[in-house]
């Protein structure tokens, strides 16, 4: 991601973006097919946002899909690292692993992660 964004969570990102547009949770939920109580739980971090709705979220918010994906998966990874009490070093290791996977992908074609 070329521009680093400060955020507390993916749910908070959604809340901030929704409020910028002055949409209620009901209005926003209708745009992405999620009821308002689920939007509330997503925004407060008690419910996960569905990966299957990331492209739609990108379209509704008119934010680049790559940026949405980066924010979503960074939040997911950070939560897992925190949950399992990983050291800060895990982020450097993950960056190295991602670089390796990109280089393999470039050399050998697309890697299939579906069976993991």
Can you give the CATH number for the domain in which 64 is found?
1.10.260.40
Please give the pLDDT value at position 105: 74
In a domain, 83, yes or no: yes
Cβ atoms of residues 69 and 41 within 8 Å: no
In a domain, 71, yes or no: yes
| 7 confidence band (pLDDT: 50, 70, 90) | low
Please give the pLDDT value at position 110: 60
In a domain, 2, yes or no: no
In a domain, 98, yes or no: yes
In a domain, 4, yes or no: no
In a domain, 43, yes or no: yes
pLDDT average, residue stretch 36-43: 97
In a domain, 28, yes or no: yes
pLDDT above 80 for 101: yes
- Enclosing domain of residue 53: 10-108
Task: Give the number of domains in the chain.
Answer: 1
């Amino acid at each position: 991601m070329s521009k680093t964004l400060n955020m507390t969570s993916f749910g908070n990102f959604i809340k901030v973006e929704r409020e910028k547009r002055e949409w209620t949770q009901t209005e926003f939920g209708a745009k992405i097919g999620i009821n308002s109580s689920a939007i509330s739980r997503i925004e407060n971090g008690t419910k996960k946002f569905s990966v299957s709705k990331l492209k739609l979220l990108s379209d509704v918010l008119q934010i680049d899909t790559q940026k949405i994906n980066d924010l979503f998966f960074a939040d997911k990874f950070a939560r897992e690292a925190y949950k399992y009490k990983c050291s800060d070093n895990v982020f450097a290791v993950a960056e190295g692993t991602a670089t390796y996977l990109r280089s393999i992908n470039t050399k050998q074609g697309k890697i299939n992660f579906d069976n993991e």
